Structure 1
């Protein structure tokens, strides 16, 4: 009577487990049948789950299955000893080769990319592979790593959206604009002259939220009620902002006035940088750190002096929370698209000589939680939630960030993976002037 030994049965179970896992990833498993398999049990062919198209990318697989513990196995790790003949065969392959060790009875499997491991001469001489169970589990989450391995430049794959709902928060802040704006005649054609005449009048409240068009000064308040009355003459007319919003030419004028309105709304706490076209939190009088309450209720640093390491009493540079923005109209509603950034000064006032380098450094380190927290902080500040800062009057009324629900979602682990980085890449540890600052803007998910 013919028999199938226990070892063969366990080996077949290991291959079946790999087949099952590969199917769950949305890829195709091709088993090599027969007895002529010189160290390769099958192939994984990459496939786009959304279209069904195969990518002409193949990964070879050698399966090692056991119902007993592997050498040195514990809850964290184990090792496996390979024959030199097998190593030589695997290393000669043009395609990536995986060694997958599994326990079919428990449904557990772990993988190692042979070529990358045995590229180390000491590893190849010993023939030993060390497995870390926490990072090398072979399951559904492994799919994006296999894509990066077989297609490192991303030519044959993109992240595929799952059919599930996901709540998203945009950077679009709802804005309600005044129903009316005002205009009065003026003989002045240069905005700088308007500023000069206000200064000569001795007022401390300079108004910059105006535009000059075709012999008229346009502003959000009647000019005679502000210092702009010094440069206007005659009667003041009221104009409905809805008229300008529906006219493509005058809509540009309206957006310019909206930009000036935001600058006016924050000028009690922020300065305007004309070169970068941003607002940024002003330095404190004594150059001490300044904080406000963010969306999560925690304190957020908006001005932070950094001192020299070798001279703790001297300031190296100052970091200011800053904001770029753009006003947009959708479906008759107005939104302010917030783009948080930073500004760096030498002493709280003059631009740092290393401004560009500092900005490059923080942008390389910033990730989604930091940017999200920074955006929420600005939204909370503009809205004027109680307890953020001293209450202030604003021209515009700011609402909440626009939330919406999508019925498709992409797995973060797939699209966030950077194929240019390796497991030993230390780019996250590169020095930056703000490396210790990111926690100030992190948002708990």
Structure 2
């Protein structure tokens, strides 16, 4: 209904004269911004070469995106419902994030969409900024749904560029509705495989114990350096170097026998498994001066420095990366380090067409004092894994590649007692003529630009 304004004017005789003045239909700024938000979404969808369908009646859904196969032009009949929200500023907004509190009835309506995904797009039409979130995923947890809150990451949830792969994944997780096409361009893929060379022979003798701990205890009672390049199997002790003149002889009952590695490689499945165990023991032995084994986590991690100062090592990329560092995160006492982060590594030795490789899987270990595992280690690890991007994982892989190859300064692989047992080559790479632009589906973060500086920027008090 049009607005009515009464215009009054006093007459000379003291009376009042005048008549109602009726103005036309009014469109407020919010309505205009809402239309501008829809227009922005329409434009972005068209740029992605999909089809936007407006809804004339809005009951919580402003329109839908019908996906089109980018390789064939065929319409997929796959639809994504869209609700648009606009604003000059959103709740909790910073340079990197914000959140949106949804209407309770809207949430109920969206969650009744069945197999059709619903996305919420928050935009600022005057600047062309827009961010999106999948509603069903955001509210899959009943606790989160009760809050009616959706969190947005400005870097990774931009509604711009070609989001086809992500949109198709919402409607068709198995990828049957479209044929992704990679760009024609040269690209070098870096794997997590390191070629490995090893000694030609191993040594074995009858063991006097079946307990690994007893072997270490016997070595510590001897005047010789402790060795970890051994494996106990079926009553025998196997090692990479001669046993004579070492503490290992205390755990044997016969003289050592030298045997070619080929006997294990050409033997049974159990013998090949024994060989893989020996490679793992050699790796731990080579890193004994700088790393520690955690039996519960089943990985090695960088030991703390003597004075708990940070450690940086030269990676295979030529850059130094953090191997150990303490982080100040306590708000009640900023001078106190709340936890220490150690670079950690899981590995697997595999045979590919007769060549042996070490498969690297970087990880992290968190301690409260440089030695004892933090009670919040799992939560710290979850937080850093959420933030990690491809370049950060690559950087950690290159860190361990550099350590295993002996690129560190000074070399952590060589000790005064013995040279390293294993020799590693460079990370295996592959040249391809097609590639997929990572930026189209996930924007780089500051941690990718400066992976050595990655920290954990969440509130640690929530964990206490």
- TM-score category (smaller protein): 0.5 to 0.7
Q: Which runs of 5+ in 2 are unaligned?
A: 1-41, 54-63, 82-119, 132-158, 456-464
Residue aligned with 1:144, SS? coil
CA-to-aligned-CA distance 1:99-145 (integer Å, 9 cap, x gap): xxxxxxxxxxxxxxxx9579xxxxxxxxxx83546889xxxx96633
Maintained 8 Å contact 2:206/2:237: yes
Check if 1:395 corresponds to 2:421. Answer: yes
Where 1:339 maps in the other structure, the secondary structure is: strand
Q: Determine if contact 1:159/1:415 at 8 Å carries over to the other structure.
A: no
> CA 1:283 to 1:146, structure 2 compared with 1: closer, same or farther past 3 Å?
closer
Aligned equivalent of 1:176, options 184, 190, 197: 197
1:196 positional shift: 2.2
Find the counterpart in structure 1 of residue 404 from structure 2.
382
* Structure 1 residues 353-372: aligned runs within 5 Å: 353-372=375-394
Verify: 1:243 aligned to 2:263, yes or no.
yes
SS in 2 for 1:283: coil
Q: Output the TM-score relative to the length of structure 2.
A: 0.61
2:241 counterpart residue number: 221
1:294 matched to 2:306: no
* Matching of residues 198-213 of structure 1 within 5 Å: 198-203=219-224, 205-213=225-233
RMSD: 4.0
Q: Is the 8 A contact 1:293 1:388 kept in 2?
A: no
Q: Report the alpha carbon displacement of residue 351 of structure 1 after superposing the two structures with TM.
A: 0.7
Unaligned stretches of 5+ in structure 1?
1-17, 31-42, 61-114, 119-128, 419-427
Evaluate the alpha carbon distance shift between residue 365 and residue 44 of structure 1 in structure 2; reply closer, same or farther with a 3 A threshold. Answer: closer
Aligned partner of 2:431 in structure 1 is 405
CA distance 1:44–1:440, change in 2 (3 Å):
closer
Q: Distance in 2 between matches of 1:413 and 1:145?
A: 10
Whether the aligned pair in 1 keeps the contact of 2:315 and 2:408 (CA below 8 Å) is no
The alignment partner of 2:192 has SS state of strand
User: In the aligned structure 2, how far is the partner of 1:167 from the partner of 1:436?
Assistant: 19
SS in 2 for 1:224: coil
Offset, 1:414: 4.2
Q: Distance in 2 between matches of 1:171 and 1:148?
A: 26
| Contact 2:327–2:338 (CA under 8 A) maintained in structure 1 | yes
* Mapped contact 1:379–1:400 kept (Cα < 8 A): yes
For the 8 Å contact 1:50–1:160, the answer to whether it is kept is yes
Cα offset for 1:208?
2.4
Give the TM-score taking structure 1 as reference length: 0.64
Contact 1:380–1:388 (CA under 8 A) maintained in structure 2: no
Of 362, 365, 375, the match for 1:343 = 365
Following TM superposition, by how much is the alpha carbon of 1:215 offset from its aligned partner in structure 2, in angstroms?
A: 3.4
Aligned length: 332
Aligned residues of 1:279 and 1:324 also touching (Cα < 8 A): yes
Cα distance, 1:165 vs structure 2: 3.4
CA distance in 2, matches of 1:215, 1:27: 67
Deviations 1:222-241 (A, max 9, x none): 11142212222443222222
Counterpart among 153, 158, 162 of residue 144 in structure 1: 162
The structural deviation recorded for 1:209 is: 2.0
State the Cα distance separating 1:283 from its structure 2 match.
0.9
Distance 2:292 2:410 in 1: 18
- 1:284 equivalent to 2:311? Answer no
CA distance in 2, matches of 1:27, 1:435: 31
Which residue number corresponds to residue 280 of structure 2?
A: 259
Structure 2 CA distance for partners of 1:296 and 1:189, relative to 1, 3 Å: closer
Is 1:332 the counterpart of 2:354 in the alignment? yes
Q: In 2 relative to 1, CA 146–132 (structure 1 residues): closer, same or farther, beyond 3 Å?
A: farther
